[in-house]
Amino acid sequence: MKEDCRLQVGIHANLDWKLHQLDIKNAFLNGELEEEVYMIQPLGFEQGNNQSQADHTFFIKHTGKCKLTILIVYVDDIIVIGMEITRNRQGISVSQRKYTLDLLKETGILGCKTSSTAVELGNKDRMFQRKTVDKKMYQQLVRKLIYLSHTRHDIAFTVSLVSQYIHDPCQGYLDVVYRILKYLKQAPGKGLLFKKSEDKTIKIFTDVDSAGSIDDRKSTLGYCTMVWGNLVTWRSKKHNVVARSSAEAEYRAMAHGVCEVIWIRRLYKELKLQFDDPIQLYCDN
């Protein structure tokens, strides 16, 4: 579940809107035409949906009496795959329990002890464990963890770390991958909960580990955004350049966070959802 879907689920939870998903059957059944064909467009083909300028997978339709239809499309799907979505009085919960358990079973981690953390910070030994490993296997595991991090923000930093070595994996970082899996085992059903909140503001939290990389001393930033009391977006990303001070590293993190909030404001403006209070930015420097 990517950022745009999480944003919409958060809106639906706060405003008690209806939420549906579906799949278009036989979308690629017919081959491409080699000749020009002219036809009259059938009635009902145009639904009046306008494509969002902030997110091109969004289609928005405003009708009378304050009615709004939001359509999120990916290729031929209007469906969320591999996730368990539950709606009750508490709100809308999203998790990937089955996906996590299948991954643990596939890797043989189900019978192992759990880990209380996803990574051992300060461990410099892994960069010297340069024993080569199966590149294809490493890439498959990391990509599955990336997909899993769409509902597990608590592994975002560690998944970002192991993703940096996806083209040149080694034993040290494969051990980190397995540690993530052991961490996931302790709570495979952990996920997100979107609920109604009285807090109708946007808050952005940013942080950075100044010169934290033991390989090249580049910093890794992290940010998360809270919209109407719900966590909707987050990211962990390594800087492309070396910051010359901790203040510079913090400003770079804040810039990424502000860009995210600008995108959210643009999208909500197209939905005609306004925020009266100013955006709140939190950092530690």
Q: How confident is the model at residue 48 (pLDDT cuts 50, 70, 90)?
A: confident
| Mean pLDDT, residues 255-273 | 89
Q: How confident is the model at residue 206 (pLDDT cuts 50, 70, 90)?
A: very high
Residues 156 and 198 in one domain: no
What is the DSSP annotation of 62-123?
EETTTEEEEEE-BTTEES--S-EEEE-SS-EEEE-HHHHHHHHHHHT-TTSPP-SSSS-TT-
What gap in Å lies between CA 265 and CA 55, rounded to an integer?
12
Residues whose CB falls within 8 Å of the CB of residue 197, separated by 6 or more in sequence, listed in order: 14, 228, 229, 230
In a domain, residue 118? The reply is yes
Q: How confident is the model at residue 54 (pLDDT cuts 50, 70, 90)?
A: confident
In a domain, residue 246? The reply is yes
Domain that holds residue 213: 194-282
Q: How far is CA 22 from CA 55, 92, 108, 154, 257, in A?
A: 20, 18, 34, 29, 33
Of the ranges 65-69, 97-101, 212-216, which one carries the lowest mean pLDDT score? 65-69
Q: What is the mean pLDDT of the chain?
A: 86
Task: Give how many domains the chain has, as a whole number.
Answer: 2
In a domain, residue 165? The reply is yes
Residues whose CB falls within 8 Å of the CB of residue 284, separated by 6 or more in sequence, listed in order: 207, 250
Residues 267 and 246 in one domain: yes
Q: For 154-200, what is each residue's pLDDT tens digit? A: 999 999 999 999 998 888 889 999 999 999 999 999 999 999 988 88
pLDDT value, residue 42: 78
Q: For 4-31, what is each residue's pLDDT tens digit? A: 888 888 888 888 888 887 776 766 666 7
In a domain, residue 135? The reply is yes
Q: For 224-254, what is each residue's pLDDT tens digit? A: 999 988 999 999 999 889 989 999 999 999 9
Q: For 99-113, what is each residue's pLDDT tens digit? A: 999 999 999 999 899
Helix (H) or strand (E) holding 232: strand 230-238
